[in-house]
């Protein structure tokens, strides 16, 4: 698995229109907090059980990608869920998986706020809120 900062991941997505961005956050996070334009929401886990279902996740990504060699760019809130999700994809045979470091909202600062230190929004990259 590759690990890219948000600006590097954005450049990859711009340079390779075949690349597919998967937002692994819960649907409500993706909808109400916001997400990069074009990102497809495939949750690693969902409310209320908050339990990952790796086989289901892999199948849903495979359905979207249609090719395990297609570049997959994973994003979550802070870059942690994507590590497990990426490992599951690689175990299932995906060959080009990228983790967006610091995720969409980034790390917590000293006052427990996100989007203040790093992450997709902090870097001023495009995003949409539904």
The per-residue pLDDT string of the chain (130 residues; one tens digit each, 9 = 90 and over) reads: 999 999 999 999 999 999 999 999 999 999 999 999 999 999 999 999 999 999 999 999 999 999 999 999 999 999 999 999 999 999 999 999 999 999 999 999 999 999 889 999 999 999 999 7
CB distance 62 to 92 below 8 Å: yes
Q: Residues with Cβ < 8 Å from 7, sequence gap 6 or more?
A: 123, 125
pLDDT of residue 34: 95
CB atoms within 10 A of CB 11: 12
**Residue 51 has what pLDDT?**
95
Beta bridge partners of 123: none
Cα–Cα distance for residue pair 127/115, rounded to 1 Å: 13
Rounded CA separation 111/2 (Å): 30
Q: Is the dihedral of CA 55, 128, 104, 3 positive or negative?
A: positive
The pLDDT of residue 103: 97
Q: Which domains does the chain have, with CATH numbers?
A: 2-100 (3.40.250.10)
Cα–Cα distance for residue pair 40/95, rounded to 1 Å: 19
DSSP assignment letter at 47 = T
Dihedral sign for Cα atoms in the order 63, 129, 26, 71: positive
pLDDT at 116: 87
- Token pair for residue 65? 């990608």
């Amino acid at each position: 698995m590759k690990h890219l900062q948000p600006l590097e991941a954005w450049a990859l997505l711009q340079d390779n229109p075949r690349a597919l961005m998967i937002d692994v956050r819960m649907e409500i996070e993706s909808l109400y907090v916001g997400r990069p334009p074009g990102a497809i929401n495939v949750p690693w886990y969902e409310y209320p059980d908050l339990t990952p279902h790796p086989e289901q996740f892999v199948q849903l990504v495979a359905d979207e990608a249609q090719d395990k060699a297609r570049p997959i760019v994973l994003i979550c809130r802070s870059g942690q869920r994507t590590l497990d999700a990426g490992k599951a994809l690689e175990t299932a045979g995906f060959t080009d998986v990228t983790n967006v470091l610091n995720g969409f909202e980034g790390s917590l600062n000293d006052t427990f706020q996100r989007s203040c230190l790093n992450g997709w929004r902090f870097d001023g990259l495009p995003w949409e809120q539904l």
